[in-house]
């Protein structure tokens, strides 16, 4: 028997085939958690081998010696369970293990189910949205919704981008995008780019305009001074340089010459936006903006002074019939966005036609042009 350390107390898990991306993901997690694992492959030379603390070769599942070799390996290594992301191997094992080795089970669900569950959920969400459209009052004529595949793509691709955007807010963003004038979409606070991706896709789906993301991507600007320090503790574990790199990875594939960013705090970004139309970055090239805003999404620093400054600096660029979305209006860690949002509502009541809270965000539509 090979010598390897058995960790975590649980019986070792056999990962087969060991070189698939899901296998390597599982291996990494197991090693982190101290779970003993053994990798296996049917290839004569598998480059994944060196990543595993223990390794063995098994015949291909189609070969006559497979069952006996597997049984031997399970006994040699005292294997407790098997992880297999290969749909054919998984399906075969799900049938034969009960007979061959009744005490040894498959650790993972059917690979096809796992790979497709996110797509199925996205398609269901799209159909649901089309079947039950949000009855939204608006002063701008409603564009017809894009078809189910476009909506499903939006839900699915947003799902794989890390970040915060609750489902209710997501659905309302889809609806206001159908009911807004033309113009730029500006986001204050983009971080890894989840909501930026949603806005970028909606901008394309409904031909609204171009997306400008304004974010300093700096750790200093993450400090919220939230009441119990819970948010700031997590922020300290994040890296702003990495966040910008992740943002670019997430947005670049969807940029049809209509996405760019200013790496600036929002008030400085507003000065740039007010003074010139062009924004240039190495990653996205040059983008020319309209200079007026159809949708303003505010999700920057949530301290009261910062949220207030965002609304003051950017609110006047929003055109008649345009929308302002104040994220985290309902926020358990402080009341900055709520106070700033309420003050904006009060101070601008003559300009506002529609205002409501959905999910955690405040949505405001300015009056339409006379």
Ligand X SMILES: C[S@@+](CC[C@H](N)C(=O)[O-])C[C@H]1O[C@@H](n2cnc3c(N)ncnc32)[C@H](O)[C@@H]1O
By the criterion CB under 6 A, which residues form the site for ligand X? 163-165, 188-192, 194-195, 214-217, 221-222, 265-266, 299-301, 306
Q: How far apart are CA 265 and CA 253, in angstroms?
A: 25
| CB closer to ligand X, 232 vs 353 | 232
- To the nearest whole angstrom, how small is the minimum distance from the Cβ of residue 29 to ligand X? 24
CB of 91 to ligand X, least distance (A): 38
Check: CB of residue 247 under 8 Å from CB of residue 190: yes
Q: How far, CA to CA in Å, does 30 sit from each of 36, 58, 86, 356? A: 7, 21, 18, 46
Cβ 289 to ligand X, closest distance in Å?
17
Which CB sits closer to ligand X, 65 or 162? 162
Which string of DSSP letters, residue by residue, matches 89-142?
A: HHHHHHHHHHHH-TT-EE-S--HHHHHHHHHHHHHHHHHHHHHS------SSPP
Classify 282 as helix, strand or coil. coil
Distances from the Cα of 350 to the Cαs of 2, 106, 321, 367, 368, in angstroms? 77, 63, 13, 8, 11
Complex with ligand X: residue 52 or 261, whichever CB lies closer: 261
Longest Cα separation, the chain:
83
**Closest separation in Å from C-beta 306 to ligand X:** 5
Q: Which is nearer to ligand X, 67 or 248 (CB)?
A: 248
Q: CA 310, 314, 319 angle in degrees (round to 5)?
A: 145
* Tokens, residue 296: 């303003």
Distance CA(259)–CA(185), nearest Å, equals 9
Residue 194 or 292 with smaller CB distance to ligand X: 194
Minimum gap (Å) between residue 163 Cβ and ligand X: 3
- Give min distance, CB of 89 to ligand X, in A: 37
Task: Tell me how far, at minimum, the Cβ of 201 lies from ligand X, in Å.
Answer: 13
C-beta closer to ligand X: residue 171 or 222: 222
- Name the residue with the smallest CB distance to ligand X: 163
Backbone angles phi, psi at 336, to 5 degrees: -55, -55
Q: Which is nearer to ligand X, 33 or 242 (CB)?
A: 242
What tokens does 110 get?
Answer: 């059917």
- Smallest Cα–Cα separation from 69: which of 79, 59, 78? 59
Going by their DSSP bridges, the two strands 81-83 and 105-106 should be labelled as parallel
Q: How far is the CB of 348 from ligand X (least distance, A)?
A: 21
Of the two residues 156 and 221, which places its CB atom closer to ligand X in the complex? 221
> How far apart are CB 215 and ligand X at their closest, in Å?
4
Looking at beta carbons only, is 146 or 325 nearer to ligand X? 325
Is residue 351 classed exposed, middle or buried when 0-12, 13-18 and 19+ CB atoms within 10 A define those classes?
middle
Q: Which helix (H) or strand (E) holds 288?
A: strand 285-288
In angstroms, the CA 295 to CA 31 distance is 46
Nearer to ligand X, 108 or 267 (CB): 267
Q: Could you tell me the smallest distance in angstroms from the CB atom of residue 220 to ligand X?
A: 9
């Amino acid at each position: 028997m090979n010598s390897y350390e058995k960790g975590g107390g649980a019986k070792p898990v056999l990962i087969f085939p060991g070189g698939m991306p899901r296998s390597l993901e599982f291996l990494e997690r197991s090693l982190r958690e101290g779970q003993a694992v053994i990798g296996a492959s049917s290839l004569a030379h598998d480059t994944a081998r060196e990543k595993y603390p223990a390794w063995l070769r098994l015949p291909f599942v189609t070969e006559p010696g497979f069952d006996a070799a597997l049984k031997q390996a399970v006994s040699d290594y005292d294997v407790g369970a098997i992880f297999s992301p290969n749909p054919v191997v998984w399906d075969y094992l799900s049938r034969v293990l009960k007979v061959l080795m009744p005490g040894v089970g498959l650790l993972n669900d059917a690979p096809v189910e796992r790979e497709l569950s996110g797509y199925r959920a996205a398609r269901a969400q799209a159909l649901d949205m089309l079947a039950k459209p949000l009855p939204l009052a608006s002063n701008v004529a409603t564009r017809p919704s894009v078809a189910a595949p476009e909506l499903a793509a939006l839900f699915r691709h947003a799902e794989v981008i890390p970040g915060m955007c609750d489902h209710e807010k997501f659905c309302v963003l889809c609806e206001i995008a159908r009911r807004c004038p033309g113009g730029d979409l500006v986001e204050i606070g983009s971080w890894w780019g989840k909501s930026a991706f949603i806005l970028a896709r909606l901008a394309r789906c409904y031909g609204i305009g171009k997306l400008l993301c304004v974010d300093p991507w700096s750790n200093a600007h993450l400090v919220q001074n939230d009441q119990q320090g819970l948010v700031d503790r997590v922020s300290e574990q994040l890296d702003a340089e990495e966040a910008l790199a992740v943002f670019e990875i997430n947005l670049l594939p969807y940029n049809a010459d209509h996405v760019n960013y200013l790496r600036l705090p929002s008030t400085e970004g507003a000065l740039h936006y007010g003074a010139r139309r062009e924004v240039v970055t190495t990653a996205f090239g040059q983008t020319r903006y309209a200079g007026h805003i159809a949708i303003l999404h505010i999700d920057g620093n949530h301290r009261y002074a910062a949220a207030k400054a965002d609304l003051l600096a950017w609110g006047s660029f929003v055109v008649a019939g345009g929308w302002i979305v104040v994220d985290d209006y309902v926020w358990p860690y402080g009341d900055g966005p709520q106070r700033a949002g309420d003050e904006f509502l009060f101070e601008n009541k003559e300009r506002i036609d529609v205002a409501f809270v959905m999910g955690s965000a405040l949505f405001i539509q300015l009056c339409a042009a006379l």
